[in-house]
Amino acid sequence: MRVLITGGEGQLGVALRDLFSTCGEAASPGRGDLDICDRAAVERWFGGAPPDLVIHAAAWTDVDGCERDPSRAFRVNEKGARTVAEACRRAGARLVLISTDFVFDGETERPYTEGDRPDPISAYGRSKLAGEEAVLGTISSALVVRTAWLYGEGGKGNFVRSILGNAAKGKALRVVADQWGSPSYTRDVAAGIVALVSSAGEGILHMVNGGEASRYDLARAALDLSGGEEVPVEKIRSADLNQPAPRPRRSTLRSTRMEELGLSPLRHWREALEDHIRRSR
């Protein structure tokens, strides 16, 4: 099976490449090798021997950057997704789009399932929802995998790595305690996607580690698991950061579809985080 993973230098892209390379030919170009907004560049990757499967993980995920430049956000996250979907349709390739919990407004006290209506509150969330709609409007059998709060060994950075890095440098840690979500380990999400593409699934599916945490909970757990039990972390409010883009207050995800497709749920986030910390030592 020939697999194309866009956004191959990102943390999920790296995890996907490592897994898919064991079961076929996997290409994972980064942004410098594949501009998803350039139709001709996309078509070149589909020339000759086109992929059988495309995991579209490339996106502009800078939430505040998207708020400052929404036109670029939609160009990358909507137009780029549509361009890739159109190429997949012409080539007959199966398509999986990676999306986000930020398509929800966060104003619920329970986890969001696949049947809940999206209502994004940021330019990033709106552009990603537009990308979902563009993909499913182009290929009705496509898969849209929503995940959240990713961290892992690959890519340039993530929340967990930032917390541990700043603690190692002796920097003061101030972390919001009023944002709740689903911390998710890229290795687990990638393995879930590998299992998913072997199923007959299509449409929207949530794929996150189990349980729920605040940003503060995640920071505290990462420090404790890495031997930083004595490192202080100040609890703050989201409003204290004065960020350009609003964040969902509670965007925890849960899947009702994984069991329908015969897939096992991902393990609890604390167990996954412990595994990540152990691998990173």
Task: Please give the positions annotated as active site.
Answer: 124
DSSP category for residue 78: I
Both tokens of 53, joined, read 């499967």
Q: Based on the number of CB atoms within 10 Å of its own CB, is 177 exposed (0-12), middle (13-18) or buried (19 or more)?
A: middle
Q: Which of 188, 240, 190 is nearest to 215 (CA)?
A: 240
The CA distance from 17 to 26, in Å, is 6
Compute the chain's Rg from CA coordinates. Answer: 18
Q: Based on the number of CB atoms within 10 Å of its own CB, is 51 exposed (0-12), middle (13-18) or buried (19 or more)?
A: buried
The CA distance from 134 to 76, in Å, is 12
